[in-house]
Chain A
Amino acid sequence: MVQTDLNENSNMVKVLHKSMSKLETVKINEVKQETPTIKSFYLDKDIDAKPGQFVMLWVPGVDEFPVALSRIHGKCSLTVKAIGKGTEALHRMTAGDTLGIRGPYGNGYTLDERDTLVVIGGYGGASILPAVDELNRQGVNVKVALGAACDEELLFADELSLISDVALCTDDGSVGKHCMVTELAMGMFDDVEQVLTCGPEKMMKKTVDICMERGIPVQASLERYMKCGMGLCDSCSIDGLQVCVDGPVFTGEQLSKVNEFGKFERDPTGRRTSI
């Protein structure tokens, strides 16, 4: 968190925090097509961050939006699905192009050295890959339930297989089990002492509910519409918590008190809308 040092005899707030909201420009070193709709962008700078933290990514002259750090150790990357104006503009960028970043923001996952089950839907792997990587480095057993719409859209299936035991499922049955990822995960809870999940919110809600019933500690990484990213504008709030600074990772315990979880989000005007 931000730290300030108050010098008693001076008016100055010596702002000791590392000015995490200043703009830093980075260059794209390499672009990797992960799935037909998802690309990874390797950056020319390291970002000192925890798994699960994110940056506000500026596509110059186009848009700025939150993106998780998908790889942290070694080559730092962002992994983004093209879904609209900003993300599509990013997908048109190539090695050598310049991006702006602010951050890293948010809390990240709290990783205990315990047998772990990871439940991922859609592009959720973008936020959770560095967590699995870190757990694997610590020698922790990690099982992953990975789901996507179809075979080609399974994100990081190969990369995750190198560092964890991966089970797959698809909505269309093109590969792996033909079911929802929560159903796949149901059969994987044996010996599990910690669960991490990232993906569509309804899926995370189900996962959190199951874990709470079974008394297994669970953490979920949430998404909300973000403007400032630094805890000031109230646009990303859920029941009084700011997802950008208090999250994006929340524990099952926290979420059991959040009525909006799995039900409501807010649009850019601040109005509640159903998920």
Chain B
Amino acid sequence: MVSLKTSVAGIELENPLILASGILGQTASTISNMFKAGFGGVVTKSIGKDPRSGHPNPTMLELDTGLLNAMGLPNQGIDSFENELKELFSIVSGKPIIGSIFASNSSEFVDLAERMEDIGVHALELNLSCPHAKGYGAAIGHDTETAGTSVLEVKNAVDMPVFAKLPPADNISEIAQAVEGAGADAIVAINTLKAMAINLETRKPFLGNKVGGYSGPAIKPVGLRCVYESYQTVDIPVIGCGGITTGRDALEYVLAGATALEIGSSIYYRGKDAPRKIVEEMKSIMEQQEIDKLSDIIGAVHD
């Protein structure tokens, strides 16, 4: 019997599929349904200090081979999200819940991290990579020094695993090294690619924010490259993300070096039971290729 069990920084996962931040992850009942749909773990929507409406509509569009979004980090703010998480813990127990947070500086990161720890999430994911929210996300993650400082101060403040979610930067290995040096327990690669859509008939950018982030099948090669390069440079586990739509995609990420996988856009392409389908596909490929467990092939493409 093939086993898909995996563990990241002490977080045990029934299967390696984790719901990526920002996809169906901001209300308690939805998150609970995502576990029922087969995810091994869930990352919440990225949460900030204050409530935020996000960018004006339009915020989402399908392109030929991927999805473009400029949600703009809408979220309830930590005070209100605390109630949401408490509700979640009352209906779901024993399942890994990873709190994603975003901030414009390290002291805000620390405040949010402490709040999340008090509420009881099992790990933190620092969003150092949203490409379209001014002053947040990639604005921090692209700068190795700021990224490192944010991780360092959060690690000093809390006693739990901290994941750093990185942008698809050309120099991702340097950023990965910086956050590893600062104490990060895992790297998540990647967030969306900064992109835009223009409508010819009206001669206007489509998104309310004009620029947004590209996700889905189109970005898989970029994600694979980022996981590959990160795995080469750091010793902490790498969580792969970006365009994983099938079991084959998932296993390619594992070969590149991923210990676990985050999945977002696939929910659109394959429906809410995407995780179940992907898990089944992974199992059948592993049976065919006589792979007993994931750990046998993590990073197997590296010499």
Cβ of B71 within 8 Å of any chain A Cβ, yes or no, is yes
Report B-chain residues with C-beta under 8 Å of the C-beta of A11: 246, 248-249, 252
- The answer on a CB contact under 8 Å between B60 and A232 is yes
Cβ of B281 within 8 Å of any chain A Cβ, yes or no, is yes
Report A-chain residues with C-beta under 8 Å of the C-beta of B90: none
Interface range on chain A: under 10, 10 to 19, 20 to 34, or 35 or more? Answer: 35 or more
**Minimum CB–CB distance for B127 against chain A, Å:** 16
Task: Choose from B32, B53, B60, B199 the contact partner of A233 (Cβ within 8 Å).
Answer: B60
Cβ of B86 within 8 Å of any chain A Cβ, yes or no, is no
Report A-chain residues with C-beta under 8 Å of the C-beta of B249: 11
- The answer on a CB contact under 8 Å between B268 and A270 is no
- The answer on a CB contact under 8 Å between A22 and B74 is no
Report A-chain residues with C-beta under 8 Å of the C-beta of B268: 2, 21, 230-232
Report A-chain residues with C-beta under 8 Å of the C-beta of B75: 269-270
**Minimum CB–CB distance for A51 against chain B, Å:** 23
Question: For chain B residues 53-83, which have a beta carbon within 8 Å of chain A?
Answer: 53-54, 56-64, 67, 69, 71, 74-77, 80
Secondary structure of the B side of the interface? loop
Known: A25-B201, A235-B74. A270 touches B61 (CB 8 A): no
Cβ of B196 within 8 Å of any chain A Cβ, yes or no, is no
CA distance A60 to B204 in the complex (A): 7
Report A-chain residues with C-beta under 8 Å of the C-beta of B45: 234, 270
Binary interface encoding of chain A residues 219-230 relative to chain B, with 1 for a CB under 8 A from any of its CBs, else 0: 000000001111
CA distance A239 to B84 in the complex (A): 12
Secondary structure of the A side of the interface? loop
Task: Choose from B29, B54, B248 the contact partner of A237 (Cβ within 8 Å).
Answer: B29
Cβ of B141 within 8 Å of any chain A Cβ, yes or no, is no
Binary interface encoding of chain B residues 255-291 relative to chain A, with 1 for a CB under 8 A from any of its CBs, else 0: 0000000001101111110000000010000000000
**Minimum CB–CB distance for B155 against chain A, Å:** 28
- The answer on a CB contact under 8 Å between B76 and A269 is yes
Question: For chain A residues 138-195, which have a beta carbon within 8 Å of chain B?
Answer: none
Question: For chain A residues 1-55, which have a beta carbon within 8 Å of chain B?
Answer: 1-2, 4, 6, 11, 13, 15, 17, 19-23, 25
- The answer on a CB contact under 8 Å between B60 and A228 is yes
Cβ of A102 within 8 Å of any chain B Cβ, yes or no, is yes
Known: A4-B245, A239-B29. A227 touches B199 (CB 8 A): no
Cβ of A136 within 8 Å of any chain B Cβ, yes or no, is no
- The answer on a CB contact under 8 Å between B51 and A269 is yes
- The answer on a CB contact under 8 Å between A234 and B61 is no
CA distance A126 to B80 in the complex (A): 35
CA distance A21 to B65 in the complex (A): 12
- The residue of chain B having its C-beta at the shortest distance from the C-beta of A19 within the complex is B62
**Minimum CB–CB distance for A11 against chain B, Å:** 6
- The answer on a CB contact under 8 Å between B74 and A270 is yes
- The residue of chain B having its C-beta at the shortest distance from the C-beta of A12 within the complex is B217
- The answer on a CB contact under 8 Å between A233 and B76 is no
- The answer on a CB contact under 8 Å between B30 and A60 is no
CA distance A196 to B217 in the complex (A): 40
CA distance A227 to B55 in the complex (A): 10
Task: Choose from B29, B76, B217 the contact partner of A271 (Cβ within 8 Å).
Answer: B76
Report B-chain residues with C-beta under 8 Å of the C-beta of A58: 58, 206
Cβ of B26 within 8 Å of any chain A Cβ, yes or no, is yes
- The answer on a CB contact under 8 Å between A23 and B27 is no
Cβ of B93 within 8 Å of any chain A Cβ, yes or no, is no
CA distance A235 to B23 in the complex (A): 10
Stretch at the interface among A61-69, A73-81, A113-121, A127-135: A61-69
Q: What 5 pairs between A and B have smallest CB-CB spacing?
A: A240-B29, A21-B62, A64-B58, A228-B60, A268-B53
